[in-house]
Chain A
Amino acid sequence: MTEEQILVREYERNVYNIALRMSGDREDALDISQESFLKAYHSLHSFRGDSRFSVWLYRIVSNTCLDFLRERKRRAEVPLVRGDDADEPEQTEIPDESLSPETLFERNLTREALRRGLMSLPEDQRKILLLREIEGFSYEEIADILSLESGTVKSRIFRARKKLCEFLIEDGNISHPSSSTRTGGGDKP
């Protein structure tokens, strides 16, 4: 196996999943992933090793995602959020064992609901949340990837989580006492 194959194999799952959740479409995710890897291959000479390889790679992935989404939006070929799920038979429920007993997430939180929730987020919030949750980058690394201040990273991740929770509550995927629906609400003693 060549070095390139090893790198592709090591990162393809996470790159693909970030692309999938950024785009909400499997075909688009495949295109974004392929393009990202090829861009990385062709610009490997510019990787100077002053950051982790994965940070460098995900900077490319991030930019490729944004370029792709902008282009898609411009062409308006594919709606950003698809309404019908009929052609997605593989949308299965997320395994229950991933949820703790006291979870607020009901069994009806499907992958599709999560997809819709993610697609409801602004692109910058969606991207930053996925970099944190899927790849597990630190705030500092995310700041490096996205060229942001770390304070912006903190607040943007928080806003993304909050907004996603609110979407899932409104969408009926989270049932919870009404108090939790007001995340970020007023002060309490």
Chain B
Amino acid sequence: MKDCAYYQELISRLVDREITPEEGEELAAHARECEECRAVYTAFVSLSDTLCAGLVDPPEELAENVMAEIRRAELWKQNRRPRRQMRRWAALAASAVLVIGVGALTLPRLLGAKGAAKAANSEAVYSAEAPAEPAAAAAGAAAYDTAAVSEEAAEMAPIPVSDDFAAPASETTKSEQEMIHEAIARSEEPETVADIVDVTGQGRGRNIAALLVGTPGELPSGVTPDHRFLLRFDIDGVSSQVLISVYGEKVFYISLSGEESDMMLSDYGWSSLRAKIYN
């Protein structure tokens, strides 16, 4: 003889309209005799009604934030170099490999006192093809300190860095933030971007975020940056980017992805940056 547990599972399926006519007849016959199962039926129906009734409207920012991220991603896609060209770069610039560590690699580390070679010895993981700039035949190196990602990264295609990496940016009277926000609003690339470095990876959001950590400072007023380039990442499928400007001996970088930290700033010598990258 079937017990109430059996019939109550049928009741659950009845509520979901996932019951056969035969099972329905069987259940009805039982329920006529069983007060408890009738009560369970009422409880399940009421619970179902209640669950459906209490839905709330999502906050407006949900759709806004998603669409903003999608726009960023689309902008990034539009500016990606064709794969074929990337492969060509890989072949041509094989001797000029810029190893960009985006794990423990913070900009301070890239620029700092710790030797890049020492860092590279730990777990060199992520490589990008460097520009064939005259002064940049050899590569500086930094590395992840996350060995877990090394195999994955080793399989990745090399990433190009255009050869006008250090080209002076055009003059602008607007702040970087104004410029970049306007450009994003127009879904266009900022005019003053002198170079693009694509760094594509997966699962390294936190590590890459470390790159954006800097010490707040002051932007020079009324001074045109000597160099400017846009550093782009693809983190867990979400595109992020940092605008880096160089004023003499100072390097400024601005996160465009963090709403609460639009501006991140740090002082480092450009000459040491060049030295580390181009050696």
Contacts and interface: CB of A to CB of B under 8 A. Distances in A.
Contacts of A155: 9
Chain A CB within 10 Å — which of B4, B16, B35 has the most?
B16
A138 interface: yes
Contacts, number: 153
B6 to A, nearest CB: 9
Given A139-B18, A180-B39, A95 B53 contact: yes
Contact of B62 (A4, A34, A180, A188): A34
Contact of B40 (A94, A111, A183): A183
A39 B236 CA distance: 8
A12 B5 contact: no
Contact of A187 (B2, B47, B57, B238): B2
B48 to A, nearest CB: 6
B69 A38 contact: yes
Chain A interface: which size bin?
35 or more
B235 to A, nearest CB: 11
Secondary structure of the B side of the interface?
A: helix
Interface in B177-233: none
B50 A41 contact: no
Contacts of B65: 34
Interface in A115-159: 129-130, 132-134, 138-139, 154-155, 157-158
Given A186-B3, A187-B3, A100 B43 contact: no
Interface of A: 2, 4-5, 8-9, 12-17, 20, 26, 30, 33-34, 37-39, 41-43, 94-95, 98-100, 102-105, 109, 111, 114, 129-130, 132-134, 138-139, 154-155, 157-158, 161-162, 164-165, 168, 174, 176-177, 179-180, 182-189
Given A133-B52, A139-B16, A139-B18, 20 more contacts: A2-B67, A5-B67, A8-B67, A17-B58, A26-B59, A42-B237, A94-B54, A98-B53, A100-B49, A105-B46, A133-B48, A154-B13, A162-B8, A164-B47, A168-B47, A176-B39, A185-B36, A187-B3, A188-B37, A189-B33
24 contacts: A12-B62, A12-B63, A17-B58, A20-B56, A33-B62, A38-B69, A42-B237, A98-B50, A98-B52, A99-B46, A109-B50, A114-B54, A129-B51, A132-B16, A134-B52, A139-B16, A157-B12, A158-B9, A174-B43, A176-B39, A177-B39, A185-B5, A186-B4, A188-B34
